Amino acid sequence: MTKPSRYERIAFVASPGSEAAAAFHQLTAQYGNCDPDEADVVVALGGDGLMLQTLHHHMRSGKPIYGMHRGTVGFLMNEYSTHDLRARLEAAHESEINPLLMRATDINDRVHLHHAINEVYLFRQTSQAARLRILIDERERMPELIADGIIVATPAGSTAYNLSAQGPILPINAALLALTPISAFRPRRWRGALLPNTAYVVIEVLEDDKRPVAAVADHEEVRRVRRVEVLSDKSISMRMLFDPGHSLEERILREQFGY
């Protein structure tokens, strides 16, 4: 007697592109389409943008998310195939990640709470560079950073904006966060820092009236902030599924060797 799959009930979601839409119709015709609330697994069809959106949407559900590449950038996605999907899901390796929690206070003292899977970053809103003060675990570590901005990146997000800003690539299971400046002017030689993922990061905006700064948690933006607090939210664990040999750990390792 065949053992039932752990993933009998599959919910498919797709980005609006034609490739993703065609894949959605093909897979739902073959495997059905369960309501996400009742599903054993959510399969995302698209690119990394859709994967981040899906992870955000199901952040507190505990459901595993499996992505198949039918979009532009597919770093977080598996290869697309319609063949024996349930067997692929059974054989997949699981990576567990925690999001960042951003608490941003704007110049009107309004508090904005947002989660980020990749990164939280601050960026100047005008032509003038931002002036920032950095505290780690309530201890001042840098009284003044003059730069376009700064990034706090998770291991999952270390190959995204953080990497393009010359930040380090972090292994997915590393208990670290990357703190990376964006086009630092002073101190010129500062290239950032590696922090334990238990760190409580506070970034204060100096001259917030003259040099306004925005804060962004993945895709959620808060304008004219004066203080941003960032920490890893251990109360939320998200489960991502990857085909054997194509795990997020393997992808991040390969990125470090340039292929």
37 appears as a binding residue in the annotation: no
* Stretch 53-81: mean pLDDT: 92
pLDDT at 253: 73
* Stretch 98-113: mean pLDDT: 98
CB of 179 within 8 A of CB of 201? yes
pLDDT of 99 > 60? The answer is yes
Question: pLDDT confidence of 3, banded at 50, 70, 90?
Answer: low
48 appears as a binding residue in the annotation: yes
pLDDT at 2: 55
Q: Report the distance separating Cα 90 and Cα 93, nearest Å.
A: 9
pLDDT at 258: 63
Question: pLDDT confidence of 206, banded at 50, 70, 90?
Answer: very high
Q: Model confidence over 220-229: pLDDT tens digits?
A: 999 999 999 9
71 appears as a binding residue in the annotation: no
The pair of structure tokens assigned to 203 is 């970034």
Using alpha carbons, select from 246, 256, 258, 253 the residue that is nearest to residue 69.
246
Q: Does domain 10-98+236-256 have CATH number 3.40.50.10330?
A: yes
119 appears as a binding residue in the annotation: yes
Q: Model confidence over 149-190: pLDDT tens digits?
A: 999 999 989 989 999 999 999 987 889 999 999 999 999 889
φ, ψ for residue 45 (rounded to 5)?
Answer: -115, 110
Catalytic residue among 35, 37, 40, 48: 48
163 appears as a binding residue in the annotation: yes
Q: Model confidence over 18-37: pLDDT tens digits?
A: 999 999 999 999 999 999 99
87 appears as a binding residue in the annotation: no
48 a catalytic residue: yes
Question: pLDDT confidence of 246, banded at 50, 70, 90?
Answer: confident
Using a pLDDT cut of 90, give the percent of the chain over it: 84
pLDDT of 5 > 60? The answer is yes
pLDDT of 1 > 70? The answer is no
Domain with CATH 2.60.200.30 in the chain: 100-232
Q: Which amino acid is at 59?
A: M
247 appears as a binding residue in the annotation: no
49 appears as a binding residue in the annotation: yes
Architecture of domain 100-232: Sandwich (2.60)
b/e sequence 68-81, b meaning 16+ C-beta within 10 Å: bbbbeebbbbbeee
- The β-bridge relationship of strands 119-124 and 130-136 is unpaired
Q: Report the distance separating Cα 227 and Cα 105, nearest Å.
A: 5
pTM here is: 0.89
Question: pLDDT confidence of 252, banded at 50, 70, 90?
Answer: confident
Average pLDDT score, the chain: 93
